[in-house]
Amino acid sequence: MSALPQATDLARIFLEDVPLIDLRAPIEFKDGAFPSAINLPLMTDGERAQVGTCFKQQGQAAAIALGHQLVGGDVRAERMEGWLAHLRQQPDALLYCFRGGLRSQTVQQWLADAGVTRPRVAGGYKELRRFLMDTQDKASAECHWTVLTGMTGSGKTHMLEQVAQAVDLEGHAHHRGSSFGQLPGGQPSNINFENKLTIELLKRRHLGESAFVVEDESRLIGRCALPLNLYEAMCQAPLVVVDVPQEERAEQIRIDYVQDLWQRYQEMYGAEEGWPLFAAYLTEALARLKRRLGDKDHRELDALMQAALAEQARSGNTELHLAWIRLLLTRYYDPMYLYQLDNKRERVHFRGDKQACLAFFAEQHANKANQKSSTC
């Protein structure tokens, strides 16, 4: 089995989105994998657990024998057909298991015996993951980071859609980064969040990019944690502050967190099932702020929110939501932001309205491009 080919160019795998066949058990795949991977396991979760117990109690030889017993006969034939069928569709796919060991070697040999030779990834999932972690470390340390900040509702995410250097952290986390930021469909595992983010940075650095703009975030975006080295780089990075009037910010929140989000719930669950889920989402998001708001303010805001939800359910009109949104900005989000910005004022590199900030980013990008062309 050792004579069969191994894939060692890990950068190429990610730069070219090489198809991957993940042979690990489903529970391992769910915990973390790679965007171009499909899970076609050698063993189910139950079979893997049995083999693991046997290994601990009786040793490697007995565990290997049990594995062949569990994945033999019709079971082996069925799984072989699954691998062969996928390889007919993706003939360039590579194989991997956790460490590039027995599972991928076994399947690789079975495929070779059937006349199909495909490389396995040297070091398997563990080596691919280590490569991405090293890539993330280097990007955090070597790239120039700028952080866009501004009061809640400033539309920073929408602004970054117009910035060539932008990296959408919230997009990778599938979360809008606040108590109200949860999106239907849930978030990726933290490993998958890190993997997709790092692969984007790898590809963009390969194209020569070295300066990136991100939105101001806490370490946690929902339940996805930013890599510590990236978060620390962001905490030291220069700030660009966008100034937006409160009324405009309240309207942006109504559009994003009420109107657009309700549409997402309808598309995923349908109107009948989606409405109670959406209403509960808003109510619970506000409840998470109760300790900081205090009981009196929370009760006042919740009453306004429930009235707005009732009107929305009755007529579809979402204008009443502006009442609780304005009050929440005034009493909670705006004072908190001003306090935090005051602590970071020495890092402010530029400040202006949306158009001024976008022009600043465009000028930065043009200057970088000119510097690059002058050195060619």
Q: Where are the domains of the chain?
A: 6-130, 143-241+354-374, 246-335
d(CA 312, CA 343): 40
In 10 A of CB 196, how many CB atoms?
Answer: 16
Q: Is 367 helix (H, G, I), strand (E, B) or coil?
A: helix
d(CA 125, CA 7): 12
Query: Which residues is 21 bridged to in the sheet?
Result: 38, 95
What does 318-365 look like in DSSP terms, one character per residue? Answer: -TTHHHHHHHHIIIIIHHHHHHHHHHTGGGEEEEE-HHHHHHHHHHHH
Mean pLDDT of the chain: 94
b/e burial code for range 350-367 (CB count within 10 A of at least 16 → b): bbeebeebbebbeebbee
Fold of the 6-130 domain? Oxidized Rhodanese; domain 1 (3.40.250)
Query: Which residues is 220 bridged to in the sheet?
Result: 225
Q: Does the active-site annotation cover 97?
A: yes
Please give the backbone phi and psi of residue 145, each rounded to the nearest 5 degrees, phi first: -110, 140
Catalytic residue among 97, 143, 224, 357: 97
- Taken in order 214, 220, 221, 223, the sign of the CA dihedral is positive
pLDDT in the model for residue 178: 84
pLDDT in the model for residue 376: 45
What does 58-103 look like in DSSP terms, one character per residue? Answer: H-HHHHHHHHHHHT-HHHHHHHHHHHHHHHHH-TT-EEE-SSSSHH
d(CA 325, CA 319): 10
d(CA 326, CA 334): 10
Asked if residues 21 and 83 have their Cβ atoms less than 8 Å apart, the reply is yes
pLDDT in the model for residue 1: 45
d(CA 296, CA 134): 49
pLDDT in the model for residue 81: 96
The residue ranges of the chain whose pLDDT is under 50 are: 1, 376
